[in-house]
């Protein structure tokens, strides 16, 4: 029997743009291909223009995420209670009403967990784009988690990792035996350098102990195999 496998679509989304990829059904190995880069508010139109069908996964740039480390996670059994704790912590930190944030948590190691919060409007826009195209939305998650899996061999033993995305700088460190992720918005190289300096100072981390990586989400690396994780657009940066 012959059948046509459903197409998988994956989108990297930041504050300004959406990068679209899909699994190439014409390739027997199921390779991924680059579809295009569009304005974030033009995602639904772009997907409709390709007659997209199947499933959609969205990975969020760090500029759209707020992260919180929950060190007492092992004493809290219900995921709803973990999410509520994360929401209250984030609200205390940003000094704004966090009641509309969508929060998800993931166990890290030991007694810790990492929480990621996104604005309800961001989630609603993604759901609306998928529904308008008849796509099944299978996941919405932070892209940086995909990155850490992809570069795990390169950061083994590293105390601190910095990641420059198009509109943000993120510092990930191990602090008191738990992971910590902090992100600041950065639109250009000057602001990115200053943001990284502030993050390193706040975390008391020496720049010499840092592993640096950069994502070029709007370009393509010739000769690199296209990946659904967008790891082919990441390269290490010398200090």
67 pLDDT above the threshold of 70: yes
Q: Averaged over 69-76, what is the pLDDT?
A: 70
pLDDT over 60 (residue 110): no
Answer yes or no: are the C-beta atoms of 117 and 99 closer than 8 Å.
Answer: no
8-state DSSP, 214: E
pLDDT in tens, 35-49: 999 999 999 999 999
- Grouping H, G, I as helix, E, B as strand and the rest as coil, residue 204 is coil
Q: Indicate whether 75 pLDDT > 50.
A: yes
Of 163 and 87, more confident: 163
Overall average pLDDT of the 57-77 stretch? 83
pLDDT of residue 220: 67
Average pLDDT, the chain: 84
pTM for this structure? Answer: 0.87
Would you say residue 191 has pLDDT above 90? Answer: yes
11 three-state secondary structure:
strand
pLDDT at 3: 43
Mean pLDDT of 1-21: 79
Q: Which residue has the higher pLDDT, 12 or 119?
A: 12
Q: What is the pLDDT of residue 107?
A: 59
- Catalogue all structural domains in the chain, each as residue range(s) with its CATH number: 62-237 (3.30.420)
pLDDT of residue 31: 84
Quote the pLDDT of residue 2.
41
**Percentage with pLDDT > 90 across the chain:** 45
Average pLDDT over residues 53-61: 93
What local confidence, expressed as pLDDT, does residue 95 receive?
A: 66
The Cα angle at residue 227 between residues 225 and 232, in degrees rounded to 5: 65
Of 83-87, 102-106, 163-167, 218-222, highest mean pLDDT: 163-167
Reduced to 3 DSSP states, what percent helix, strand and coil does the chain have, rounded to the nearest 5?
A: 35, 35, 30
Give the C-alpha distances (Å, rounded to integers) separating 129 from 28, 42, 57, 80, 174.
Answer: 29, 9, 12, 27, 37
Question: What confidence score (pLDDT) does residue 179 get?
Answer: 78
Distance of alpha carbon 14 from alpha carbon 197, whole angstroms? 22
> Taking residues 9-30, what's their average pLDDT?
85
Per-residue pLDDT band at 120 (split at 50, 70, 90): confident
């Amino acid at each position: 029997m012959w059948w046509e496998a459903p197409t998988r679509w994956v989108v990297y989304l930041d504050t300004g743009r959406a990068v679209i990829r899909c699994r190439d059904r014409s390739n027997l190995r199921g390779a991924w291909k680059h579809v295009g880069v569009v304005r974030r508010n033009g995602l639904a139109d772009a997907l409709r223009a390709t007659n997209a069908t199947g499933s959609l996964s969205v990975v969020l740039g760090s500029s759209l995420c707020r992260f919180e480390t929950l060190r007492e996670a092992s004493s809290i059994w219900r995921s709803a209670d973990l999410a509520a704790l994360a929401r209250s912590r984030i609200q205390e930190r940003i000094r704004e009403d966090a009641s509309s944030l969508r929060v998800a948590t993931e166990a890290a190691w030991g007694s810790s967990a990492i929480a990621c919060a996104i604005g309800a409007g961001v989630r609603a826009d993604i759901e609306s784009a998928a529904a308008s195209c008849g796509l099944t939305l299978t996941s919405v998650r932070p892209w940086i988690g995909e990155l850490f899996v992809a570069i795990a061999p390169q950061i083994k033993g590293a105390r601190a990792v910095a990641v420059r995305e198009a509109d943000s700088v993120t510092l990930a460190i191990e602090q008191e035996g738990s992971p910590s992720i902090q992100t600041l918005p950065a639109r250009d190289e000057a602001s990115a350098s200053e943001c990284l300096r502030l993050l390193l100072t706040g975390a008391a981390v020496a720049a010499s102990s840092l592993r640096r990586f950069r994502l070029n989400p709007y370009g393509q690396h010739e000769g690199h195999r296209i990946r659904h994780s967008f790891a082919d657009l990441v390269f290490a940066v010398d200090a």
